Amino acid sequence: MRWVSARLDKSWSVLASHQTPEGDRCVDVFARPDTTFGFEEFRRDPEDLGAWTPLQYFSTRRYASAHEATEAACDAVPWLRDVLTP
């Protein structure tokens, strides 16, 4: 079961969820009903019972495409580009 932060509106659709190999960090890229896109970074710690906790306030930013949101996430989240690069 994936617990989603209250910071992500229920009307937003998560398009991709990228995790670290350890499974303790994640970036979600999502689409909003108004046709904009965004992303948020989360962490998961054992003491939080596996719940994902947002780390930043990236979800307030708006992008014209999922690609732009992913590129912005790569610039903002240091580990993400390594996860996305084969």
Q: 23-76 pLDDT, tens per residue?
A: 899 999 999 999 999 999 999 887 777 788 888 889 999 999 999 999 999 999
Cα 30 to Cα 39: distance, rounded to the nearest angstrom: 6
Q: How many domains is the chain built from?
A: 1
Residue 8 belongs to a domain: no
Please indicate whether residue 10 or residue 83 has the higher confidence score (pLDDT). Answer: 83
Does some domain include residue 35? yes
Question: Residue 2: which pLDDT band, with cuts at 50, 70 and 90?
Answer: very low
31 located within any domain: yes
Contacts of 2 (CB under 8 A, 6+ apart): 17, 52
With respect to residue 71, please indicate whether it lies within any of the assigned structural domains. Answer: yes
Residue 46 in domain: yes
- Rounded-to-integer distance, Cα 9 and Cα 13, Å: 9
Residue 7 lies in a domain: no
In a domain, 6, yes or no: no
Asked if the structure places residue 36 within a domain, the reply is yes
Domain containing residue 75: 13-81
